[in-house]
Amino acid sequence: MIRGSSTHTGARALRDFYQALVHEGISPVIAPDGPRGPPWKFKAGALLLAQLSQRPVVPLSFCASRAWKIGWDRFVIPKFGTRIVIAVGEPVYVAKGLDAAALERLQADMEQRLQVLFESAKAALP
């Protein structure tokens, strides 16, 4: 597990993720809204990692028919025996040399993709 945020150990976490991804062949899973939120707000860390590594971001979301929702971000813990649907989106490559405005547009696009994936997963539940 690699922990970090934009306000606490972010550079070290980015380095550790890069090491795992590029040198160890591990595909990390990143909560893009970060540990401090706000919830559902896509932060730049995952996009920066994709840009540095030239590996894609694969957006995915899920929905559970029964779950506990805890904390400020309503973190989901599926209950035993629940149905879960996982929706996986198309890979997104991040070009090198993006300016701040292009990165912000990509963040907004990723937020929208995740919302669509969540709605798709939710609709697939009985």
CB 34 within 8 A of CB 24: no
pLDDT at 3: 61
pLDDT at 8: 58
Each residue's pLDDT tens digit, 47-99: 988 998 999 999 999 999 999 998 877 889 999 999 999 999 999 999 999 99
Q: Which of 61, 41, 49 is nearest to 116 (CA)?
A: 61
Residue 116 region by backbone torsions, left for phi larger than 0, else alpha for psi between -120 and 50, else beta: alpha
CA atoms of 76 and 69, how far apart (whole Å) = 5
pLDDT at 113: 96
pLDDT at 5: 56
Per the omega criterion (within 30 degrees of 0), is the bond before 35 cis? no
pLDDT at 45: 85
Q: Please give the helix or strand (H or E) that residue 38 lies within, else none.
A: none
CA atoms of 83 and 121, how far apart (whole Å) = 11
Percentage of the chain beyond pLDDT 90 is: 51
Each residue's pLDDT tens digit, 1-56: 566 655 556 677 777 778 878 888 888 888 887 767 777 888 888 898 899 899 99
Q: Please give the helix or strand (H or E) that residue 107 lies within, else none.
A: helix 100-124
Half-sphere exposure of 81 toward its Cβ, with a 13 Å CA cutoff? 0
pLDDT at 94: 95
